[in-house]
């Protein structure tokens, strides 16, 4: 058993037995890890109530090879991210980001530090967004994370024949095909929806880690549906994306 110290963000937490808690952590050095904090719910526990969802800090884990659940020795919180509950929509957008990592990322992956930085940046962006910009901030963070996880959509070339597409024209978008299709390929492809030029431009910016203005709430919801459909298409299991559903419904 080895004591490992690394930076981590809490993506999920639930009570275990009478006084303990299990955390799902995204760590900078070891990808996703599950950790048991014994006695965390006791009044004077070293790992206590400050270690809440989306908290970030330095964690100490006793790692034992071959085990899926490790013991947590300590978690020193450096950022609590209470701002995520200060404005409606922030918390559910952050939960959708966490769900992406929990459903798609493997433990101890190559490039885990980059994904760690991407979700930290996304949580901070969402936490700083004013109410009218929360949905766009969540979309930008989610598409950037999708790109880092390795399955970004193709939005500038046909995802089937790879021919370049006119950036000023609408294009068919196919989740099974992995992105936009040219007119010829769209006739035989599984097309879900048409993307106007403005929507395509937004996707290009978000996938690259940038930001894009959304004209109105209706467009933002359409983008949320597209993101959910695209993510669901790439899942290997059929479990519902619950956090995505809550975010899309407008729940706080």
For 105-119, write each residue's pLDDT tens digit: 876 555 678 999 999
Residue ranges, comma separated, of all CATH 2.40.50.140 domains in the chain are 2-80
Strand positions, DSSP E, 65-192: 69-79, 171-174, 179-181
Residue-wise pLDDT for 77-106, tens only, equals 999 999 999 999 999 999 999 999 999 987
> Has domain 84-158+160-249 been given CATH number 1.20.1440.120?
yes
Distance CA 34, CA 14 (A): 11
Query: What is the average pLDDT value for the chain, to the nearest integer?
Result: 91
Where do you find CATH 1.20.1440.120 in the chain? 84-158+160-249
Pick 111 or 226 by higher pLDDT.
Answer: 226
Residue with tokens 């030029």: 197
Closest by CA position to 210, among listed 155, 165, 163, 251? 155
Tens of pLDDT, residues 45-75: 566 557 899 999 999 999 988 888 999 999 9
- CATH code given to domain 2-80: 2.40.50.140
Mean pLDDT of 126-139: 96
CB 173 within 8 A of CB 180: yes
97 and 123 Cβ atoms separated by less than 8 Å: yes
Query: Which carries the bigger pLDDT value, residue 251 or residue 115?
Result: 115
Quick check: pTM over 0.85?
yes
């Amino acid at each position: 058993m080895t004591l490992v110290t690394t930076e981590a963000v809490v993506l999920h937490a639930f009570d275990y037995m009478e006084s303990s808690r299990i955390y799902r952590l995204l760590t900078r050095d070891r990808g996703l890890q599950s950790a048991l904090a014994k006695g965390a719910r006791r009044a004077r526990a070293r790992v206590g109530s400050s270690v809440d969802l989306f908290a970030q800090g330095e964690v100490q884990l006793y790692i034992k090879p071959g085990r899926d659940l490790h013991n947590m020795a300590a978690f020193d919180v450096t950022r609590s991210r209470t701002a995520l509950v200060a404005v409606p929509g922030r918390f559910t957008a952050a939960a959708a980001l966490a769900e992406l990592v929990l459903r798609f990322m493997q433990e101890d992956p190559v490039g885990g530090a980059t994904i760690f930085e991407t979700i930290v940046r996304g949580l901070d962006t969402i936490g700083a967004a004013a109410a009218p910009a929360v949905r766009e901030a969540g979309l930008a963070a989610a598409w950037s994370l999708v790109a880092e996880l390795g399955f970004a959509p193709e939005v500038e070339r046909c995802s089937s024949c790879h021919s370049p597409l006119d950036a000023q024209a609408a294009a068919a978008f196919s989740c099974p095909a992995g992105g936009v299709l040219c007119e010829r390929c769209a006739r035989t492809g599984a097309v879900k929806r048409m993307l106007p030029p403005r929507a395509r431009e937004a996707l290009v910016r978000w996938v690259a880690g940038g930001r894009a203005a959304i004209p109105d709430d209706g467009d933002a919801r359409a983008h949320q549906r597209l993101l959910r459909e695209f993510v669901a298409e790439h899942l290997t299991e059929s479990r519902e994306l619950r956090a995505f559903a809550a975010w899309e419904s407008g729940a706080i």
